Amino acid sequence: LYATCWRCGSVRLGDTLVVADVKDTGCGIKEEHLPKIFDPFFTTKPTGVGTGLGLPVSKKIIELHGGGLDLRNDPSGGVRVTLILKGESAEQ
């Protein structure tokens, strides 16, 4: 995820970053769904139970603020979510 932020040009050497790494203990995301989780309107829920916009909108807002969001299955089980945001340094 850090490499993703570096590639988009929003993170520069010396920037202060806030990183939140959260892991759940659920069953994870099916491998065939992982490439689509940030696609607008993609959902595995039944019709009328969700729009599939939560993750795409969240990711876009975070990216507009110069950060990054990554979701992946953790090898030990569950899903690991990493959120990176720019922070202000004490010198600013």
Query: 3-class DSSP state for residue 14?
Result: coil
Statement: the pTM of the whole predicted model exceeds 0.85? no
Give me the chain's average pLDDT, please.
85
Q: What is the pLDDT of residues 13-28, one digit of tens each?
A: 788 888 999 999 999 9
String of b and e for 44-71 (b: at least 16 CB within 10 Å)? eeeeeeeeeeebbeebeeeeeebbbbbb
pLDDT of residue 17: 87
- According to DSSP, the residues that pair with 74 across neighbouring strands are none
6 torsion bin: left (phi>0), alpha (psi -120 to 50), beta (else): alpha
Q: What is the pLDDT of residues 13-69, one digit of tens each?
A: 788 888 999 999 999 999 999 999 999 999 999 988 888 999 999 999 998 888 889
How much is the average pLDDT of 77-85?
A: 93
pLDDT of 4 > 60? The answer is no
CA 13 to chain centre: 21
- 36-43: which pairs have CB atoms within 8 A and are 24 or more residues apart? 37/71
